[in-house]
């Protein structure tokens, strides 16, 4: 999406070269050669001027105006009594609620991959409600206009979130306030829930745990032009132990089975064929891959249906998820 200007720039440079060539066709051979050289230089400059998406730029597009940390809800006054926690690690945000008798029968965990962030658009339907907040779009709702999470810092380690959507009786709001907490300040139940689903957060702050992984986000590679590595269902945690994982490394692609003893079904990428906007990765089953973004794909076949998957760092995927 960010490359349209560059493509148009190259087109204009090419048109300029052709125009110069037409005007100088009657001139001397040396003049034509000089103009051609200048045209080639202009072409090279236009090509080299194309913006590239670096890992650092990708991280900047996902940066929120709050610290990377764990935040406990303020309803009960302290981190130790928080029933719900919000976390932000630089590339994801999510929520955790522990098992608590009379409140939660099972632990709840949610993780959302950040696609982009930005201010509300002036004149948009919910601008007045979202004004002052930074909006956070995920890989699931990257094009949505409502029910978007808004985040802002309030000082003293507190943050406020809001989500607005339209309802049958007017606009509906969901607002929460959280306070920054260290892992050690949380209740034993909350610590256990985080340790089970997101152990990277147990080291003190989300920022410390995510810094190394964030700096090494791989760039997309051909032929699919997506990030190499592991892809999990968008609704699952990267460390899921109950979902199959799709793997791609530029040479092969396929599914990693739950069982470490079962053979993984990998197909050589060289055999993949384009079909419209999709890639046919398995001609026997009819399985296709559709690229939605550099870190988001849809994969499936007529018999099993289509699954939307998101990229995960290898360090966050279960240890048994090895492509063989």
Q: Tell me, what's the pLDDT at 31?
A: 47
Q: What is the mean pLDDT of residues 177-201?
A: 92
Over residues 107-137, the pLDDT tens digits come to 899 888 898 899 998 988 889 999 999 999 9
Rounded to the nearest 5 percent, the helix, strand and coil shares of the chain are: 25, 35, 40
Task: Give the count of alpha carbons within 13 A of 198, CB side only.
Answer: 34
Mean pLDDT (the chain) is 79
Looking at per-residue pLDDT, the higher value among 69 and 28 belongs to 69
Instruction: Give the whole-number percent of the chain exceeding pLDDT 70.
Output: 75
Q: Tell me, what's the pLDDT at 297?
A: 94
The answer to whether residue 53 scores a pLDDT higher than 60 is no
Coil, helix or strand for 208? helix
Paired with 293 in beta bridges are: 296
Over residues 165-187, the pLDDT tens digits come to 887 777 888 999 999 999 999 99
Between CA 181 and CA 206 the distance in angstroms is 11
pTM score of the predicted model: 0.53
CB 158 within 8 A of CB 67: no
CB 86 within 8 A of CB 178: yes
Q: Tell me, what's the pLDDT at 262?
A: 62
Q: Tell me, what's the pLDDT at 56?
A: 53
Task: Say how far residue 301 (Cα) sits from the centre of its chain.
Answer: 24
The answer to whether residue 20 scores a pLDDT higher than 60 is no
Q: What is the mean pLDDT of residues 196-210?
A: 66
Q: Tell me, what's the pLDDT at 118?
A: 92
Could you tell me which of 268, 297, 298, 302 has the C-alpha nearest to residue 285? 302
The answer to whether residue 204 scores a pLDDT higher than 70 is no
Which phi-psi region, left, alpha or beta, contains residue 186 (left: φ > 0; alpha: ψ -120 to 50)? beta
Q: Tell me, what's the pLDDT at 26?
A: 42
Over residues 55-113, the pLDDT tens digits come to 555 555 568 999 999 999 999 889 999 999 999 999 899 999 998 887 778 889 988 88
Which phi-psi region, left, alpha or beta, contains residue 5 (left: φ > 0; alpha: ψ -120 to 50)? alpha
Q: Tell me, what's the pLDDT at 259?
A: 64
- Reported for 84-89, long-range contacts at CB under 8 A and 24+ positions apart, including other chains, are 84/176, 85/178, 85/181, 85/186, 85/190, 85/194, 86/159, 86/161, 86/176, 86/178, 87/194, 87/198, 87/201, 87/206, 88/64, 88/206, 89/200, 89/201, 89/206, 89/207, 89/209, 89/210, 89/214
Looking at per-residue pLDDT, the higher value among 5 and 246 belongs to 246
């Amino acid at each position: 999406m960010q490359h349209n200007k560059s493509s148009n720039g190259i087109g204009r440079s090419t048109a300029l070269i052709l125009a110069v060539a037409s005007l100088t066709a009657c001139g001397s051979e040396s003049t034509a050669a000089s103009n051609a050289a200048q045209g080639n230089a202009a072409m090279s400059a236009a090509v080299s001027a194309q913006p590239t998406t670096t890992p650092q730029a990708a991280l900047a597009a996902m940066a929120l105006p709050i610290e990377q940390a764990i935040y406990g809800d303020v309803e009960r006054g302290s981190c130790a009594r928080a029933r719900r926690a919000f976390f932000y690690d630089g590339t994801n945000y999510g929520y955790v609620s522990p098992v608590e008798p009379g409140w939660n029968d099972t632990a709840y965990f949610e993780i959302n991959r950040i696609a982009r962030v930005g201010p509300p658009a002036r004149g948009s339907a919910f601008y007045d409600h979202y004004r002052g907040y930074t909006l956070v779009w995920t890989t699931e709702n990257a094009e949505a206009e409502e029910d978007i999470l808004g985040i802002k810092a309030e000082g003293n380690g507190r943050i406020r979130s809001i989500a607005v959507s339209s309802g049958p009786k007017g606009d509906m709001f969901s607002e929460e306030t959280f306070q920054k907490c260290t892992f050690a300040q949380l209740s034993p139940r909350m610590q256990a829930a985080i340790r089970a689903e997101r152990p990277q957060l147990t080291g003190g702050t989300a920022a410390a745990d995510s810094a190394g992984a964030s700096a090494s986000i791989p760039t997309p590679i051909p032929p699919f032009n997506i990030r190499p590595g592991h892809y999990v269902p968008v609704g699952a945690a990267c460390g899921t132990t109950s979902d199959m994982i799709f793997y791609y490394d530029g040479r092969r692609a396929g599914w990693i089975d739950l069982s470490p003893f079962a053979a993984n079904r990998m197909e050589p990428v060289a055999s993949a064929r384009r079909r419209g906007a999709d890639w046919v990765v398995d001609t026997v089953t009819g399985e296709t891959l559709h690229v939605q973004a550099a870190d988001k794909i849809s994969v499936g076949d007529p018999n099993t249906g289509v699954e939307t998957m998101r990229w995960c760092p290898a360090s966050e995927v279960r240890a048994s998820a090895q492509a063989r």
